[in-house]
Amino acid sequence: MIPSILPTYSRAPLEFVKGEGSWLLTADGRRFLDLGAGIAVNALGHAHPALVRALTDQAENLWHVSNLYRIPQQQALADRLVEHTFADTVFFTNSGTEACELAVKMVRKYWYEKGDPDRIEIITFDGSFHGRSTAAIAASGAEKMVKGFGPLMPGFTHLPWGDPDALRAAVTDRTAAILIEPVQGEGGIRVLPDQDLKALRDLCDETGALLVLDEVQCGMGRTGRLFAHEWAGITPDIMMVAKGIGGGFPLGAVLATENAAGGMTVGTHGSTYGGNPLGCAVGCAVMDHVADPDFLAHVNRVAGQLRQGLEGLVAAHPEVFEEVRGSGLMLGIRCKAPNADVVRAGYDNAVITVPAADNVIRLLPPLTLSADEVGEALARLEKAAIQVTAA
Ligand SMILES: *Cc1c(COP(=O)(O)O)cnc(C)c1O
């Protein structure tokens, strides 16, 4: 008999009843160190007082009105994002997937309005993840996501990751856009080197193709800059954001330049919930913290400590681990043992990590992680490694 929850997830036998900062508590009082943060969502940890206040204050006044009316919280969050980024304009969604949908529509409409409606080819990369809608799975092209769901939305060309020659050959004056994660998340924490992102920007400038960055996982302070592309000193034309921006409240956004957004006029797109007062009140509170240079300095400091510790851990347990990779507090450990075994041993030692492709375990802790908690994380991961070795 089919379970009452559609069985598309294989869930760990863990149930949490409370969150406090970097910690998750079970009903029987066990405390887990949360290095997953709901897959890079709880950027300020669990139950951050500023977010609780923003949400409850808003909840006492007004939950929802629809986008038929002005929403001051949405205006404030859009203004703040425009102030801190390349973007001239923002559309709010409820998820990363919806941000992907709009990004694809925006690209197509851009070329349509330029009088080039057949210019629809969007280049994407192996190992990418952009969400689970029909457009987003077509963008990724990964067999495990698309199999059985055809016919797929046309217009995507998939290239190997990290192959500049293949890229140069594929990008032509027919290319509508290049869509890429500056750091692949689901694909196994694969960092696009700064010079490759710069080269992508140059290619787009040469051909007129739009550069679309998916910063759903790597954005909002995760890599130690507000957005990951800032490390390369370039700017995209369009950017997808979600996960961390709501700190746990469902919120996403598409940021764009005035030029790239030129086709999106009244009536061309919409959302019932996107940008509603609750989500945007929380988003403003998240931005207050994450856009603060002192906060980002903390992220970089703690990330350096964690990375250094992990390098030592990997060196000490070569039978379990292979290498550390990533950027800021978006770290991956490529495992020699099956990554699922390492994640499970983590549960046994009350530390939460997230599996990814390429036999990687991801560490995506709250950005508020403390130096003490870094030590705690390393100690628990070490116990997990010892357990995997003994098994
Ligand atoms: C999670 C993720 C998405 C999809 O976001 P949802 O909110 O799950 O729809 C898209 N792109 C990247 C890079 C992601 O990590």
Domain ranges, ordered by start, for the chain = 49-290, 293-354
Fold annotation for 49-290: Aspartate Aminotransferase; domain 2 (3.40.640)
Residue whose CA is at the smallest distance from ligand 1 atom 10: 130
DSSP secondary structure string, 169-185?
Answer: HH--TTEEEEEE-SEES
For ligand 1, is residue 382 a contact (CB within 6 Å)?
no
pLDDT score recorded for residue 365: 98
Peptide bond between residue 151 and the one before it cis (omega within 30 degrees of 0):
yes
DSSP secondary structure string, 118-184?
Answer: T--EEEEETT----SSHHHHHHH--HHHHTTSPSPPS-EEEE-TT-HHHHHHH--TTEEEEEE-SEE
Triad 260, 77, 262: Cα angle to 5°? 15
pLDDT score recorded for residue 225: 98
- How far is ligand 1, taken at its centre, from the CA of residue 94, in Å? 11
- How far is ligand 1, taken at its centre, from the CA of residue 326, in Å? 18
- How far is ligand 1, taken at its centre, from the CA of residue 186, in Å? 9
pLDDT score recorded for residue 250: 98
pLDDT score recorded for residue 326: 98
pLDDT score recorded for residue 146: 97
For ligand 1, is residue 101 a contact (CB within 6 Å)?
no
pLDDT score recorded for residue 147: 98
Candidate of 124, 129, 223 to mutate for ligand 1, largest count of ligand atoms within 8 Å of Cβ: 129
Q: Which atom of ligand 1 is nearest to the CA of 100?
A: 10
210-214: strand order across its sheet: 89-93, 252-256, 238-241, 210-214, 175-180, 121-125, 156-159
The one-digit pLDDT tens for each residue of the chain (391 residues) are: 999 999 999 999 999 999 999 999 999 999 999 999 999 999 999 999 999 999 999 999 999 999 999 999 999 999 999 999 999 999 999 999 999 999 999 999 999 999 999 999 999 999 999 999 999 999 999 999 999 999 999 999 999 999 989 999 999 989 999 999 999 999 999 999 999 999 999 999 999 999 999 999 999 999 999 999 999 999 999 999 999 999 999 999 999 999 999 999 999 999 999 999 999 999 999 999 999 999 999 999 999 999 999 999 999 999 999 999 999 999 999 999 999 999 999 999 999 999 999 999 999 999 999 999 999 999 999 999 999 999 8
pLDDT score recorded for residue 195: 96
For ligand 1, is residue 214 a contact (CB within 6 Å)?
yes
Report whether 284 contacts 54 (CB < 8 A). Answer: yes
For ligand 1, is residue 184 a contact (CB within 6 Å)?
no
